[in-house]
Structure 1
Amino acid sequence: MELFCLEKDAIIRAQRDPNIFFDERVLQSLLTVEDRYVPQGPYFKRVQKDIQPFMRRMVATWMLEVCEEEKCEEDVFPLAMNYLDRFLAAVPTRKCYLQLLGAVCLFLASKLKACQPLSARKLCMYTDNSITSQQLLEWELVVLIKLKWNLAAITPLDFIEHILHKLPFPEDRLTLIRKHTQTFITLCATDHSFTMYPPSMIATGCVGAAVCGLQPDQSNQTLWGDNLTELLAKITHTEVDCLKSCQEQIEQLLTSSLKESQQQHQQQQEGRASNKGMQSQNLSCTPTDVRDVNL
């Protein structure tokens, strides 16, 4: 009798354990420890002198596109951004090391969450070989020490299933809400204004934004939104006003992100039509060109 190993052909995930979501103690434990992994204070004002918020966003976009290119699990990017924010909140860092730090955070997060972790060689390639494997390994130890080897951080994704389990929707509806919520969480991770928000609040606000955005009956959306907010606030023990503010901020971020994406798309089309082939001489091999940060 022959035995076949399927791990090389496909990623086989374990099924969700319903006992985890029926037991209220699991959610309570997450709420109890989540503050340990939130950066304390606005580090751009108190710690970082050389790094600006737009630089963080550029590197975050690069990290996200690396994850998309490598088809990483959805947990990798938010966890990597948590490492990056916690490190920047503790250690003054020169901007020329920011992409290296982002690569190291992806390296560590993929080891913890991905079935097939990112390799040092690939990460160096995605930086257009602006860093070396030796630098990556050296900085890996530095980040581990500064984070006190505490890598099992709580992220907003850890709360999604606990929240959705308590909502009165059919499974097909929950599947769509889950997909939109994950997208919103990823978007929040690229914006520095959500850095100090508790993961449970970000997750709850993203669920609320996803549900309201998918609500077909616009006439009752205000009443439904208020009832939904109260229900979500009760699930995660969050203040209603704080949750409303967070959800509004998420919706504003989504709107501005969509506008920016449309503008970039139009600019790209205009550039290709008027200047074909001229830009190929100065293109970076990385998904997002972050060479300006390294100058």
Structure 2
Amino acid sequence: MKFAQPWGRQRLSFLLENAASREAKMWRSYVPKKPTSQDIDVSPAQRDEAVRWLTELHSRLQLYPETLALAVSILDRFLAPIKARPKYLRCIAIACFFLAAKTCEEDERVPSLKELAASSNCGCSPSEILRMERLVLDKLDWDLHTATALDFLHIFHAMVMSCHSGFLDSVSGLNRSQHLALLTRQLYTCLADHTLMQLRGSMLALGLISLELETCCPDWLALTIDLLRKAQVSLFFLLP
């Protein structure tokens, strides 16, 4: 995991405000597409299958969690306004994954395009992936910098840890990093469910944290409300 160090409360407030700013700028409400011929547009079920495929690939390559979260975000932003034929979906998905890896990973950890094409069994050549990568970048105006649900999960988890030192006492056998890794795996499952695309990443992350708090903290509701208040305050100051 990329960010495992403890953060001070002032730093956490800054990170939350910055993430909320990016989310407010980039997030668009999910509008389910009208049913069409499956040869004409990617269905929600096909989108979910592609995300699960990327999750398996990500696990095999042992890349940072941020890479998968960003790859799914790029994929969804690209697919939302267009009709993409399902036969191109894996090429689109692997191009999004490659862009995310180059954004989030250290240079030496980024797989070569040839390696990625071969190990993923995506069915397209490196040159085809490069062409698709350019299409994705052009469609997104070359702006990949967005706040993902994972960003908020990291921040909310650190906030709980900073104000509730006994949080992990009830989570047997897990240290701070292991517990965050557990929540991250739960988030991966959520990312592969298109019905949850109705939620902002911040609210999805808060929901996961709240469910975890409920299982181990008597004052879970007060902690959840406090996190929600902090998130809403960050958003409030961004409104015109």
TM-score range, shorter chain: 0.7 to 0.9
Please report the TM-score for the alignment, with normalisation by the length of structure 2.
0.80
Deviation at 1:29, TM superposition (A): 2.4
For 1:60 and 1:151, the matched residues in 2 are separated by 18
For 1:199 and 1:15, the matched residues in 2 are separated by 20
Match for residue 181 of structure 1 among 180, 183, 190: 183
For 1:46 and 1:181, the matched residues in 2 are separated by 33
1:87 to 1:188, Cα distance in 2 relative to 1, 3 A: same
For 1:14 and 1:165, the matched residues in 2 are separated by 10
For the residue of structure 2 that corresponds to 1:237, the secondary structure is helix
1:24 is aligned to 2:13: yes
Deviation at 1:24, TM superposition (A): 2.5
For 1:211 and 1:14, the matched residues in 2 are separated by 21
1:45 to 1:129, Cα distance in 2 relative to 1, 3 A: closer
Higher RCO (C-alpha 8 Å, min separation 6): 2
1:150 is aligned to 2:156: no
Deviating beyond 6 angstroms after TM superposition, the runs of 4 or more aligned structure 1 residues are none
Deviations 1:57-77 (A, max 9, x none): 111111000000000101111
Please report the TM-score for the alignment, with normalisation by the length of structure 1.
0.66
Amino acid at match of 2:113: A
1:38 is aligned to 2:34: no
1:138 is aligned to 2:127: no
Aligned residues: 220
Question: 1:276: which partner in 2?
Answer: none
Structure 1 unmatched runs, 5+: 1-10, 216-220, 239-295
Counterpart mapping for 1:120-139 below 5 A:
120-128=113-121, 130-139=123-132
Instruction: Determine which structure has more spread, i.e. the larger CA radius of gyration.
Output: 1
For the residue of structure 2 that corresponds to 1:106, the secondary structure is helix
Question: 2:213: which partner in 1?
Answer: 211
Counterpart mapping for 1:1-295 below 5 A:
16=5, 18=7, 21-22=10-11, 24-45=13-34, 50-115=41-106, 116-128=109-121, 130-167=123-160, 168-170=164-166, 172-173=168-169, 175=176, 176-213=178-215, 215=216, 224-237=219-232
For 1:45 and 1:39, the matched residues in 2 are separated by 17
Give the alignment's Cα RMSD to 1 decimal: 2.8
Deviations 1:209-244 (A, max 9, x none): 22334x2xxxxx7x6443333233223228xxxxxx
Deviation at 1:206, TM superposition (A): 1.2
For 1:94 and 1:135, the matched residues in 2 are separated by 15
1:111 to 1:101, Cα distance in 2 relative to 1, 3 A: same
